[in-house]
A and B are shown apart, each in its own frame.
Chain A
Amino acid sequence: MKKLYIVVVALIAASFVLSACGTAAPPAADELKIGVVTDVGQLEDKSFNQASYEGGKAAAEKLGATFDVIVTQNISDYKQNIQTFVDQGFDVIITVGFLIGTDTAIAAKENPDVKFIGVDQNICVDEQGAPDATFTCAGDAATLLPNYQGILFAEEQAGYLAGIVAGSISKTGTIGSVAGTSLPAVVAYIAGYEAGAKSVNPDIKTLTQEVNPDPAKGFNDPATGKAIAQQFIAQGADVLFQVAGLTGQGVLEAACDAGIYGIGVDVDQVQTLPNLSKCIVTSAEKKLKDTIQAVAESAATDEFKAGEVFYNAASEPPAIGLSPYHDLESVITPEIQAKLDDAFAKMKSGELKPPRK
């Protein structure tokens, strides 16, 4: 028994000695450092967190920068996580999600030498550049916080293209969409989707449902997603568009089970859900990774744009679009493709503006 204690004590002592010499030498002070603070949830969410991570990482590799990520566990930890990167001397900090926007704006004001990139963030500040709780947004974010860019996407444009596909391939004349939580971006996707479907079939019937007003549940509940999808299928829907994160996996599974078509969201979901490739006809994509990478790279130059920047069909590289059709290429006839190309060109030129609400 005594032996055991000695071993344990020796182990602890050894651990402290080893840990002292086990740390790597700190990187050179002038090296560029890029950090990502994720939204609450997991890194591998096949959506914003993951795309921000991959985009930031790709930019860091191209620029030869150090790259790190802090995953947020609780919304009250945003400040602490951003501050950790600031204290560690990071030059570019990418924060993910609209909830972290307030803390990002505060940090941007306190640290003018650090560049902040807010993914999916509106910037609303008062005349002093502080976050504005009254939403008057009297201050001009671009001049007051020249080190902070809020990346926003024209989701309605991607949704519109998905809607053209759905309206064209539906045989029953009924299509459905599942919203995780009715956040502005989700609403925009679905508004665009329904407008797109109506543009090819004015009589089409559209079904839509919000899973849960609490995003923590709305986007993380595949079982409920599946149940809602099955209800829609029972009501005759034969194309389902999911805008519901992990919940959407359940929607797409239900579509596969019933032998109808599903449309993915945000990223090419055939890549993320390869087992469902036989029914995912396409995905309404925000080119998150490419856009975030481009913005992160711009942060190392003088071309960094401050304030809210909307990325859309006209952006370079294009920030929205449809994913490849993979196994279901034959479903998209040349006529459908022509309509899609036409709509994309009109959105690019600004002639066509799908509704955001």
Chain B
Amino acid sequence: MKARLRSYAGLMLVPALSILLALLVASVLIIASGLVGTEKKVNLLLPLIAYRSLIVGAFGNFKGIANMVVAAAPLMLTGLAVGVGLKAGLFNIGATGQVLSGGLAAALIGMQVADAPVLIAIPVAMLGGMLAGALAGFIPGFLKAFTGAHEVVTTIMLNALIQLIVSGLVNDVFRAPGFSFARTAPVGSAELTGLGNTTLHLGVIFALVCIPLSYWLLWRTTVGFEIRAVGANPTAAFYAGMKPRRMMILTMSLCGAFAGLAGAIEVLRLGYYPAVFGTGIGFDGITVALLGQSNPIGIMLSALLLGAMRAGAPLMQIQARVPVEIIDVIQGIILIFLAAEIVVRKIFRLRTAGVGAGELQTITRTYGEKVVG
């Protein structure tokens, strides 16, 4: 038990220190932003006011907490879409495209079930989103398994391709008449409306269920064991009688399903698919997965952290008058420190531990490896 706790502490050390360093670096930028802002003076307390208003905005009242959870829910799913892939030794950069295809599918299916009872319409539309996302994940998985095409290359290309296809479909084929801008028809009862006076919606439950589910899948089932074995060493896994190719396809499809569900939640929350549906949740998933060290619990916590920053951002802009872009900057710096783990370890003079290195290996590995089996 004690050893296990220690290993968790080891897992959390670098992410925690990365967050701390990022906040410190961002402090300098926040102070600098005061120079060009409305006040035009150096205020050394500005970072503290900003961080405090972020915290108050996210945790100050129930509405804030609801906003945080609502912002975190899709990030948990895209975090899983990247994190589960990393466990199998696959770096899924395609979450963006998978989110878009899941979102469009959910909007189109939502239109069909717009008059059905809410408890049927919502799950059906979400399932459609998951399947579309899974398909978008299946393609790079299949290409990797049978042609050796590296998933980083194929998923990046698919992102661009899916974006254009989806935008074309919304602008021409599925464009609803009567609106001044390109969008699909309303999804009616499939819309995820806020409960009471908050933004909290049913989709959050779907995201929260996926966390223990993926934990159980990875560590309590044979499939999960095979996924992790293939990730650790595909050749060894093959000689142990596993089927690495099948596992890769399965894992990428699963990752796509998570991302597709994230897209479905975001779109059903709006109630329609707008042509302008640009979203950062796909790429933010990479930050979430690395910050969470590909561990479902870690992913949940990381998503909540990023969600808290999004929920606190409006209040930060009013109380501290710090530009909202600072949130993206903080996220970016966290990612830099996570990727340059060695820098963090140097600054805090930590030993280079084996934990957490697996993900980085996957990310930095060059492509061209041949898959056996």
Does A223 sit at the interface, judged by CB under 8 A? Answer: no
Cβ–Cβ contact B280 & A74, under 8 A = yes
A98: chain B residues at CB < 8 Å are 180-181
Shortest Cβ distance from residue A95 to the other chain B in the assembled complex, whole angstroms: 13
Contact pattern, A 76-114, Cβ under 8 Å of B = 1, otherwise 0 = 110111011101100000000011000000000000000
Cβ–Cβ contact A75 & B67, under 8 A = no
Quick check: which of B117-125, B215-223, B271-279 contacts chain A, the rest being far away? Answer: B271-279
Chain B CB count within 10 A is highest, among A1, A76, A81, for A76
Shortest Cβ distance from residue B325 to the other chain A in the assembled complex, whole angstroms: 8
Does B270 sit at the interface, judged by CB under 8 A? Answer: yes
Which interface class (under 10, 10 to 19, 20 to 34, 35 or more) fits B? 35 or more
Contact pattern, B 274-292, Cβ under 8 Å of A = 1, otherwise 0 = 1111111000000000000
Known: A19-B48, A22-B49, A68-B317. A184 touches B180 (CB 8 A): yes
Shortest Cβ distance from residue A126 to the other chain B in the assembled complex, whole angstroms: 13
Cβ–Cβ contact A4 & B349, under 8 A = yes
Cβ–Cβ contact A80 & B318, under 8 A = no
Known: A4-B348, A23-B52, A98-B181. A216 touches B315 (CB 8 A): no
Does A215 sit at the interface, judged by CB under 8 A? Answer: yes
Please count how many residues in chain A sit with their CB below 8 Å of the partner chain's CB atoms.
43
Cβ–Cβ contact B63 & A87, under 8 A = yes
Cβ–Cβ contact B323 & A71, under 8 A = yes
Cβ–Cβ contact B180 & A215, under 8 A = no
Shortest Cβ distance from residue B43 to the other chain A in the assembled complex, whole angstroms: 9
Contact pattern, B 318-332, Cβ under 8 Å of A = 1, otherwise 0 = 110101110100000
Cβ–Cβ contact A215 & B314, under 8 A = no
Smallest CB-CB separation from A22: which chain B residue?
Answer: B45
10 closest residue pairs by CB, A with B: A19-B48, A84-B314, A135-B178, A19-B52, A22-B45, A213-B171, A68-B318, A71-B324, A133-B186, A216-B278
A residues engaging B (CB < 8 A)? 1, 4, 8, 12, 15, 18-20, 22-23, 35, 40, 42-43, 68-71, 73-77, 79-81, 83-85, 87-88, 98-99, 122, 133-135, 183-184, 213-216
Q: Jot down 18 A-B pairs with beta carbons below 8 A, ordered by A.
A: A1-B349, A4-B348, A19-B48, A22-B45, A22-B52, A23-B319, A35-B318, A42-B325, A68-B317, A71-B323, A73-B280, A74-B280, A75-B276, A80-B311, A83-B63, A84-B314, A183-B181, A213-B171
